[in-house]
Amino acid sequence: MTTFLAIAENSKLEFESLSINANGNLDKVEGKLMMHSIKLLPSLIIKNPSDNERALRILEKSEAACLISNSLKTTIKLMPTVNISKSNIAAGV
pLDDT, tens only, 65-93: 999 889 988 999 999 999 999 876 555 55
> What's the mean pLDDT when you consider all of the chain?
92
* 22 class by beta-carbon count within 10 Å (0-12 exposed, 13-18 middle, 19+ buried): exposed
Domains recognised in the chain with CATH numbers: 2-82 (3.30.300.20)
Entry pTM: 0.84
- Helix, strand, or coil (residue 81): strand
Q: What is the spatial distance between Cα 7 and Cα 64, in angstroms, rounded to a whole number? A: 11
Q: Which H or E element spans position 44? A: strand 32-46
Q: State residue 90's pLDDT score.
A: 52
